[in-house]
Amino acid sequence: MIVNISFFYSKDLIIKNQINLKKAFQFISTRKLVDLTHSFAPGIPHWPGFPDEKREILYWYDEGVGTLGTGPFAEQFTLVGQWGTHVDAPAHLYKGLRTIDRITLDEMILPLVVIDIHEEVKNDPDYSLQLNKVHQWEEEHGKIQEGAFVALRTDWYKRWPDPDAMANKDEDGIPHYPGWGLEALKYLYEVRNITASGHETTDTDPGISVYVDNFTCERYILSRNCYQVEMLKGLDKVPETGAIIIVGFPKPLRGSGFPARVFAIKP
């Protein structure tokens, strides 16, 4: 009689994996979850080149409200993909690079690194992340993990949902808000090999750069076929290291980006 030992071995592994996943869920369920996502609606801060969101109630419980009549509450949303807290796919700026439906599942659950520059921003709203600040972070917390999601904390999200406060324009109409620095980004993506990055402002680059159509930092990230998340919130409520970020979003075929639901699992 020949016994298929591999069958029993495989079954044993499956049982072990089920137990491990159960333990993982039990552990995660006791952790605190932090919402890093703004609710979106018409009138929220957005890139001025985009039209505002439009909403239409198609069906409502009572008569006289829904444009198509009564029934289960249903709405039609008309908005650009880059709306509210959202994901920018590489194809947003580069023809032939990945669209949002090609971002893989393993890129959506990542170790979270938060680099805090909110004190620098208090003194200089035009501040951009410098490489020495990243080195300082690593001296304090250790080497940034390969494959991480790096988020830039500026506390700018506290100005939401006031478009004027987010833009922070001076008397000449020039916006003043913080952003990434190219040298720091190159170190994170090319030396530390991070997977993605995100920030609380409406743009990757600081406002004074965006004003003159200089999107160098955003172009750099997306040119690497990596994605980014814009207009995060609540980064002051998660630790600088040790948390996990979940970046969830719909899957429009060949989409350039889409509003996301992003949250962190605290250690």
Active site residues: 92
Q: What are phi and psi of 153, to 5 degrees?
A: -85, 120
Q: CA 124 to CA 177: how far, in whole Å?
A: 9
Tell me how far apart the alpha carbons of residues 26 and 14 are, in angstroms, rounded to a whole number. 18
Instruction: Quote the CA–CA distance of 172 and 51 in Å, as a whole number.
Output: 23
Closest CA to 196 of 87, 117, 116: 87
How far is C-alpha 182 from the chain's CA centre? 19
Q: In what order do the strands lie in the sheet with 228-230?
A: 33-35, 261-265, 243-248, 109-116, 149-153, 196-199, 228-230, 86-88, 257-259
Please answer whether residues 247 and 229 qualify as being in contact, where contact means their C-beta atoms are separated by less than 8 angstroms.
yes
What CA dihedral angle connects 213, 214, 220 and 223, to 10 degrees? 30
Q: Is 76 left (phi over 0), alpha (psi -120 to 50) or beta?
A: beta
Three-class DSSP category at 33: strand
Distances from the Cα of 157 to the Cαs of 34, 154, 180, in angstroms? Answer: 14, 8, 15
Helix (H, G, I), strand (E, B) or coil at 223: helix
